[in-house]
Chain A
């Protein structure tokens, strides 16, 4: 009798915890929509997706911001993916145990480093270096942001990729080696393809981490909302969606047009993140389903 009662309590507590997380997320969505969607009525759609962001003069074109985010994120991934996966392969397949035991915790600590610290390092070290080295008018560019974001994404990518590679059954490796594959052929021909879905998840989480990152990019990208016109834009100041919200939200009048547009940017950002996450999980799910079908 007593235990049955206790059990009911526990069930209730767990139920409430579960429902509350759904509730909180839907409340966030609700307020985001309530504050953001009015922007669609206040600013003509043509202007909202215009090429000029200059809120004081009433220009609310968010394309430069979207492009700024995309530019910095793609740049970050071009840096983060090869380094991240390369490091993971080294850790899981090549490094001696003692190096791995030292490196893995360090990389995980790196993942927890506050981005403002990295932003500070970016301003103090990376920006002046790039300005001199690449002979640019300013070191605060999309490229600097991309490099920094790449560094922020690397620990996430390394950590998850390494776990994925570790779960590849060692029978695959031994099978390949016993057939006369060398170490290199085993890694690229067997281990990495077998860990494909995990590596994809790692990359997608890296994308998520990059596109949502605010502080570091705000500090080093130079904050100029200019629509990129050529690849050269990589070496000019840019501004991301996140940086725009963070820097302007504090000064905006609640309920004004500008305020609503900033929330609308939040909706766009949310949409992009959602799309990235859905793609990642559906890809992971598809390959898992395929594996299950094959093994059943």
Chain B
């Protein structure tokens, strides 16, 4: 196992003084499903947004610590944010296809990069949609609006448009919270295949999903990383009492 992203002593504070992450250190392991879970407001989403610098939009005031990705501290103001976001893709909890066709949604990122070759774009659309297990359902209506797909299909479309950029890391923030069990199973199955090729960071929307998908799991509570363990360790033999209470459903 190799470390893909190393978060070191990260503390994040919003401008109103609310602390969102406190002294978090975690290694994101390459070619694995890294699960970050815990109750709402625990700082999971904030951490994801720190990893691709989407926090730049929010009023995050102070950031201490380091996030090392490809031997570079991405919190460094000199980081090329756009390049970073292409390498560290993100899928949000509510599927939000852009107001464009299915085809255009998938290649949106490539178009932004200035890619014009029709053959490459066509190729990438099919490849990404196949990886997102959506190709068979939409190959005959690529020119329909992205919003015309069902909720589960829309979410896989959003995953496909991230995959089209061939990122090194893909982050999913509760990707199945708005979806039915069938779509959820499709996405979880897809993650298991994708990790052969890239690194996955998943914020699951419940403990069961965390336990099902995790290769490595970290439990977040009120901005702190309480516990971090490989495989199912966190779920079967938690070390901390808080983790145990949460995974056994005593709170959360």
Contact = CB atoms under 8 A, between A and B. Distances in A.
A174 B113 contact: no
A294 interface: yes
A190 B148 contact: no
Contacts of B158: 175
A294 B148 contact: yes
A296 to B, nearest CB: 10
Interface in B194-239: none
Of B96, B99, B108, B161, the most chain A CB neighbours within 10 A belong to B99
Contacts of A181: 82, 108-109, 112
A193 B165 contact: no
Nearest to B171: A178
Interface string B135-179: 000000000010110000000001001100100000000000000
Interface in B79-105: 82-83, 85-86, 89-90, 92, 94, 96, 98-99
Contacts of B63: none
A224 interface: no
A179 B113 CA distance: 10
A138 B83 CA distance: 57
Contacts of A294: 145, 147-148
B96 A178 contact: no
B57 interface: yes
B14 to A, nearest CB: 14
A171 B148 CA distance: 17
A190 B113 contact: no
B52 interface: yes
A177 B147 contact: no
A30 interface: no
B148 A182 contact: no
B3 interface: no
B85 A175 contact: no
A178 B108 contact: no
Given A182-B82, A190-B99, A291-B147, A176 B108 contact: yes
A269 interface: no
Nearest to A175: B96
Contacts of B52: 178
Interface residues of A, number: 21
B185 interface: no
Contacts of B165: 179-180
A137 interface: no
Contacts of A31: none
Contact of A172 (B96, B113, B148): B96
B5 to A, nearest CB: 16
Nearest to B92: A171
A179 B108 contact: yes
B85 A295 contact: no
Interface string A90-118: 00000000000000000000000000000
B54 interface: yes
Interface of B: 52, 54, 57, 82-83, 85-86, 89-90, 92, 94, 96, 98-99, 108-109, 112-113, 145, 147-148, 158, 161-162, 165
- In the A-B complex, list the 8 residue pairs whose CB atoms are closest, starting with the nearest: A171-B96, A179-B109, A178-B90, A180-B86, A294-B147, A180-B85, A180-B82, A294-B148
25 contacts: A171-B96, A172-B96, A173-B57, A174-B54, A174-B92, A174-B96, A175-B96, A175-B98, A175-B158, A176-B98, A177-B54, A178-B85, A178-B92, A179-B85, A179-B109, A179-B165, A180-B83, A180-B113, A180-B165, A181-B82, A181-B108, A181-B109, A190-B99, A194-B98, A194-B99
